[in-house]
Amino acid sequence: MHPCSTHLSRLLSAATALMAAGCSGRNIEYAPDGTVDTSAPETVGCGEAPEEATGWSIEGVALDLETLAPPSAADGLCATAIDPSPVLSGQPPSDLAVGQVCDDGRFAIYNLGDAPAVGMFVVIDDCVPGNGDTASELQDLVLQSANGVKSSDVAGLGPGDVYVMDSVTGKGDLTYLTRSYQATLEAELVAYEGSLDDDGFLGGRLLDADLEPVAGATIDCSTCGELTASYQDDDATDGLFETGGTPNASTSASGRFFLPRAGVSTYKVEDGGAHTWEETLLGSLPGYAVFSNFIATN
């Protein structure tokens, strides 16, 4: 994702306030008897378009963060476009539209209307099961994974327009975090003892202006208190974030970083002056894996 605008900053701040208020993390509402509330937008099947297409759409490819491969055919994942703006007035966010994720990771979210002024999230998570299923029967394979959409990128889109999210355009890798890989990260993140369900994390890649990963870069938040970044390398035999028993001090060839319990504040990226990144207001959300790529301006 490109460096944040004020709109995206407000988006993340609003979502943080929502999660701090204790709202549900999976965007699933339950009736008093424990059944799923079916008043949410209807989910469009994999590869299907609605019978009546009246708005614009978001397309992308969702990949497993651990394997960088598409999901299993049995995973049953969905992509949901979410408007967080109601949070500004103390209300829950709105699920705008939902599309199933195909076996090859492709998804499409149809019939979107005016873009929210504060931007949007595209969230990859387990699909909501059909009417009558109880909360105890829901699968929970994925920690919901949020990818931000800048309002300036989608402002003015109308019927028939398509917004594409992928690593080629720099608008998000659309990765998601499985529960099994979540356990791995919780065990290996540097100087971290906790639960990502409670803390969430901010993760992504540090890229140059040509969208190539930058090695030797660091990310820091001077106002976040004790916050340790973990930088992933390509050799997992000695730990995902260590080399010879020593924590990696900067990015490797993948450019990938993780910041658990990352407070909403200003983040700064440096690599000794070879590239320049804008300082960016971002943060993690409890119960979410928030993904954002930092892209250099030169």
Question: Mean pLDDT for the chain?
Answer: 81
- In this structure, what token pair is assigned to residue 15? 């979502």
Give the C-alpha separation, 54 to 120, whole Å.
19
- Residue 279: partners with Cβ closer than 8 Å, 6 or more residues away: 266, 267, 268
159 CB neighbour count, 10 Å cutoff: 12
Residue ranges in 49-208 assigned as alpha helix (H): 151-154, 179-188, 196-199
* Residue whose C-alpha is closest to residue 17's, from 223, 285, 292, 221: 285
- Note whether 15 and 88 are within 8 A (CB): no
Tell me which architecture the domain covering 189-295 has in CATH. Answer: Sandwich (2.60)
| Residue 40 pLDDT greater than 60, yes or no | no
| Residue 250 pLDDT greater than 90, yes or no | yes
User: In residues, how long is the chain?
Assistant: 298
Query: Could you read off the pLDDT of 179-203 as tens digits, one per residue?
Result: 999 999 999 999 999 999 999 999 9
Banded pLDDT at 139 (limits 50, 70, 90): confident
What per-residue confidence (pLDDT) applies to 19?
A: 39
Percentage of the residues of the chain whose pLDDT score is greater than 70: 79
DSSP state letter for 17: H
End-to-end CA separation in angstroms for the chain:
16
Give the C-alpha separation, 99 to 189, whole Å.
32
More confident residue, 228 or 134: 228
* Residue whose C-alpha is closest to residue 186's, from 176, 196, 175, 200: 196
What is the arithmetic mean of pLDDT over 116-127? 88
* Residue whose C-alpha is closest to residue 77's, from 39, 49, 105: 105
Residue ranges in 204-276 assigned as alpha helix (H): none
What per-residue confidence (pLDDT) applies to 3?
A: 36
| Residue 30 pLDDT greater than 60, yes or no | no
Would you list the domain boundaries of the chain? 6-178, 189-295
DSSP state letter for 8: H
* Residue whose C-alpha is closest to residue 19's, from 170, 115, 144: 144
Would you report the helix, strand and coil content of the chain in percent, each value rounded to 5? 15, 30, 55
Give the C-alpha separation, 62 to 11, whole Å.
22
CA-based angle 2:8:12, to the nearest 5? 120
Banded pLDDT at 297 (limits 50, 70, 90): very high
Query: Could you read off the pLDDT of 273-292 as tens digits, one per residue?
Result: 999 999 988 888 788 899 98
- In this structure, what token pair is assigned to residue 29? 């509402």
* Residue whose C-alpha is closest to residue 181's, from 171, 191, 189: 189
- In this structure, what token pair is assigned to residue 28? 């699933």
Q: What is the pTM of this model?
A: 0.81
What is the arithmetic mean of pLDDT over 4-24? 40
